[in-house]
Amino acid sequence: MERIAVIGTGYVGLVTGCCYAEIGHEVICVDIDPDKVRRLSLGEIPIYEPGLGELAASNQAAGRLSFTTDLARAVQDSSIIFIAVGTPTLENGEVDMQQVRGAVETLARQMNDYKIIVMKSTVPVGTSRRIRQWMEEGQQRPVPFSVVSNPEFLREGTAIHDTFHPDRVVIGSDDADAALRVERLQAAFGGEVVRTDPESAELIKYASNAFLAAKISFINEMANVCEKVGADVSLVARGMGLDNRIGPKFLQAGIGYGGSCFPKDTRAQLKIAQNADYDFRILRAVIEVNTLQRERFVEKVTAALGGNATGRSITVWGLAFKPNTDDLRDAPALDIIRALQERGAVVTAYDPAAASKASALLPGVRCLTDPYEAAENAEAVVIATDWEDLRRIDFDRLRSLVRKPLIIDGRNMFAPAEMAEKGFTYVSVGRPAFPGPV
């Protein structure tokens, strides 16, 4: 059993804290946000993540998990310190390292004896060495420490499953003993261990996200070609994905990727390459295609409405950047709704988890938690997030509520032929409208 402090209680910090407590370690989670810590201490989970609330509650009750704003106490009581603070992107594409630097400087001042500092946040190459330097500069007296880069690969919505079933565990350090201790700590979760130098570990994280984003932009461009030549991108993706070398995952065409990671990490990786005097051309195109995909979709919605969105009532189903989360960071739905509003549309939205958070971000949009209520009198229903409950929609009921039976599906959730049978004009991404394939 190790005593672990986790700095930062965002997605990664909370999931890390709960999962390490679950496998028997004593975990104290620290945040500078006193309101968040107060709520967490009362058992309130500030994010929507399936299973996280139960995991937090049982481990809090067992005394293995606690929350505090007192970094000094948390650090002094622990031997392993995970850093899981935010690393947003600045306007110029550089990674904003303020949260990391702030955490490390406080850590340096508070350390009483040897600690292993494990970097979970996604950070630019060279950060492990910079942490070492900030630590040495910040310490009032020399106290030994080790730095280990251990990037996080969890996905929102399946974060707990991902932590307990990792594809791989990347551990990058110059300190073999510290690396081994971190490896042992995670052995209970399984996953193939990749031991590297710190720089390679830091790059593996960005490379993975950039590659997955590239797969999405690739299939989205294929979808755009499919539309021009009358092919079906879902069949193209299936035919490609059955090749083991390609694989079926991340070939779902639609309105492009969003979220707190891909948009920010692709831009950061582009900048990291630029700073190293390298123009990462593919990545530049991946980002550009993703932006264009949202714009193309707005054109598609406008075209389906006869070329004019002014004064039209549009319902958008799905606000979160993907299902099973209430995260709205860089959610495609937000851009699409704002663009439709700019074209004069009146938008009503539905999301089962993110509606109330979204209200504050979308002035003039009624954000509801009932898909049918949101669709009343709609001239078009736009699907922006593939929430599972939408698969169970009663289309007869929907048809009786809307002003026009028109669905523009940015996530290709339904078969075009079936939708036509149900009496809807159905427009999706990269697939013929009707007749569909036999």
Ligand X SMILES: O=c1ccn([C@@H]2O[C@H](COP(=O)(O)OP(=O)(O)O[C@H]3O[C@H](CO)[C@@H](O)[C@H](O)[C@H]3O)[C@@H](O)[C@H]2O)c(=O)[nH]1
Does residue 261 carry a catalytic annotation? Answer: yes
Is there a binding annotation on residue 86?
no
Write down the catalytic residue from 18, 226, 261, 367.
261
Is there a binding annotation on residue 205?
yes
CB of 33 to ligand NAD, least distance (A): 4
Which entry of ligand X, ligand NAD, none binds 262, CB below 5 to 8 A by partner kind?
Answer: ligand X
Nearer to ligand NAD, 267 or 294 (CB): 267
Which residue in the block uniquely carries the two structure tokens 């030549």?
229
Which entry of ligand NAD, ligand X, none binds 266, CB below 5 to 8 A by partner kind?
Answer: none
Is there a binding annotation on residue 31?
yes
- Asked if 75 touches ligand NAD (CB under 6 A), the answer is no
CB of 56 to ligand NAD, least distance (A): 15
Is there a binding annotation on residue 164?
no
CB 101 within 8 A of CB 276: no
- Give the one residue of 4, 6, 18, 31 binding ligand NAD; rule: CB under 6 A: 31
Residue 170 host element (H or E): strand 168-172
- Token pair for residue 351? 């999301």
Q: What is the torsion angle, in degrees rounded to the nearest 10, for the CA atoms of residue 173, residue 174, residue 178 and residue 179?
A: 40
- Give the one residue of 59, 99, 290, 428 binding ligand NAD; rule: CB under 6 A: 99
Which entry of ligand X, ligand NAD, none binds 85, CB below 5 to 8 A by partner kind?
Answer: ligand NAD
Is there a binding annotation on residue 153?
yes
Nearer to ligand X, 261 or 381 (CB): 261
Nearer to ligand X, 323 or 371 (CB): 323
Q: How far apart are CA 51 and CA 84, in angstroms?
A: 20
DSSP strand pairing (115-119 vs 145-149): parallel
Burial 74-85 (b: 16+ CB within 10 A, else e): bbebbebbbbbb
Q: How far apart are CA 358 and CA 350, in angstroms?
A: 10
Beta sheet of 168-172, edge-to-edge order = 65-68, 26-30, 3-7, 80-83, 115-119, 145-149, 168-172, 192-196
Beta sheet of 366-368, edge-to-edge order = 366-368, 346-350, 313-317, 380-383, 406-409, 425-427
Which residue in the block uniquely carries the two structure tokens 């031997």?
79
- Give the one residue of 7, 237, 251, 427 binding ligand NAD; rule: CB under 6 A: 7
Which entry of ligand X, ligand NAD, none binds 212, CB below 5 to 8 A by partner kind?
Answer: ligand X
DSSP-derived letter for residue 25 is -
Q: How far apart are CA 94 and CA 270, in angstroms?
A: 9
- Give the one residue of 6, 8, 273, 318 binding ligand NAD; rule: CB under 6 A: 8
Is there a binding annotation on residue 315?
no
- Asked if 68 touches ligand NAD (CB under 6 A), the answer is no
Q: How far apart are CA 133 and CA 396, in angstroms?
A: 64
For the chain, give the longest Cα–Cα distance: 75
- Beta bridge partners, 425, equal 406
CB 191 within 8 A of CB 49: no
**Nearest residue to ligand NAD on Cβ basis:** 10
Which entry of ligand NAD, ligand X, none binds 321, CB below 5 to 8 A by partner kind?
Answer: ligand X
- Nearest C-alpha neighbor of 12 from the set 162, 194, 126, 124: 162
CB of 150 to ligand X, least distance (A): 12
Binding site for ligand X (CB under 6 A): 122, 152-156, 209, 212, 216, 250-252, 254, 257-259, 261-262, 265, 321-322
CB of 264 to ligand NAD, least distance (A): 7
- Asked if 29 touches ligand NAD (CB under 6 A), the answer is no
10 Å CB burial of residue 342 (0-12, 13-18, 19+) is: exposed
Nearer to ligand X, 224 or 425 (CB): 224
Q: CA triplet 144, 149, 154: central angle to 5 degrees?
A: 140
Q: Total residues at the site for ligand NAD (CB under 6 A)?
A: 27
Nearer to ligand X, 261 or 378 (CB): 261
Annotated binding site: 31, 36, 87, 122, 153-156, 205, 250-254, 258, 264, 322, 329
Annotated binding site for substrate: 153-156, 205, 250-254, 258, 322
Catalytic annotation, residues: 261
Which residues are near ligand NAD by CB under 6 A? 7-13, 30-33, 36, 84-87, 99, 102-103, 106, 121-122, 152, 154, 156, 260-261
